[in-house]
Amino acid sequence: IIASAIVIFGLLVAIIFDLFPSKEIAPDTSKQQEVVLPDKDEGLPEGATFDASNAQEFSDLNPAIFGEDSDFSPLEKEAKDLAEFFIERFGTYSSDSRFSYIDDLRSFMSDSMAKEMDAYKKTASIPDSYFSVDSSIASIEKESFSLANRNAIFTVVLNREEEQAGSMSQYQQNASVYLTQDNTGHWKVNKVIWGQKI
């Protein structure tokens, strides 16, 4: 009788305090819902998933995200992104910052370029009067890309703004960015060749 009373008491406690997990049916997540993309002037829908099935619609909605990179494979895009990142920072410097732009980019350089930059820093002189150059990408094109040779070349047009002795000038300049892959498969900048002002 005591054992029966304990079992009944235990069941009552379990029912009262809801100790038994209820068997709820989980929602079926295997079916994807169709997402209707908004017009270009509207915001993007919250919680929407963008994948290969609706990439074209998303590209039409926001061409700045997909537009120019759609012609590049993922590895080419990785190399292109490094070329853009590097040349903008490499082409932006001032007399106040001295050679910090070179030091900041050192980890993105191949060993041979890093050695060339070390030699350049030893021989280059900094003018006494203030000067600065600011660079931003106007356009970038793939000149060559070879996984077999582990190298790539991108031709860049930069918008440049130069301040020297209190006067400002704006111009465009060509540059070629040469990349190489290191032993770990990471892209490194092997050299930069500055072209003529446009």
Higher pLDDT, 79 or 23: 79
Q: Does residue 23 lie in a domain region?
A: no
Nearest to 181 by CA among 147, 156, 144, 154: 147
Whole-prediction pTM: 0.64
CA dihedral 27, 33, 39, 43 (to 10 degrees): 30
Q: Does residue 41 lie in a domain region?
A: no
DSSP state of 109: B
CB 154 within 8 A of CB 140: yes
Per-residue pLDDT of 130-180, as tens digits, reads: 899 999 999 999 999 998 999 999 999 999 999 988 899 999 999 999 999
CB 190 within 8 A of CB 166: no
Helix or strand (DSSP H, E) at 198: none
Nearest to 44 by CA among 54, 32, 30: 54
Q: Does residue 91 lie in a domain region?
A: yes
CB proximity list for 42: less than 8 A, separation 6 or greater = none
pLDDT band at 128 (very low <50, low <70, confident <90, very high): confident
CB 189 within 8 A of CB 82: yes
Domain holding 145, by residue range, is: 74-197
Highest-pLDDT range among 18-22, 69-73, 91-95, 110-114: 110-114
CB proximity list for 88: less than 8 A, separation 6 or greater = 135, 136, 137, 158
Q: Does residue 176 lie in a domain region?
A: yes
Per-residue pLDDT of 11-70, as tens digits, reads: 766 666 665 555 555 555 555 555 454 554 454 455 554 444 444 554 555 444 444 555
DSSP state of 41: T
Asked whether the predicted pLDDT for residue 109 surpasses 60, the reply is yes
Residue 177 forms beta bridges with which residues? 154, 192
Q: Does residue 79 lie in a domain region?
A: yes
CATH number (domain holding residue 147):
3.10.450.230
Name the token pair of 175.
Answer: 């540059």
Q: Does residue 179 lie in a domain region?
A: yes
Domains in the chain: how many in total? 1
Higher pLDDT, 172 or 75: 172
Q: Does residue 139 lie in a domain region?
A: yes
Q: Does residue 150 lie in a domain region?
A: yes
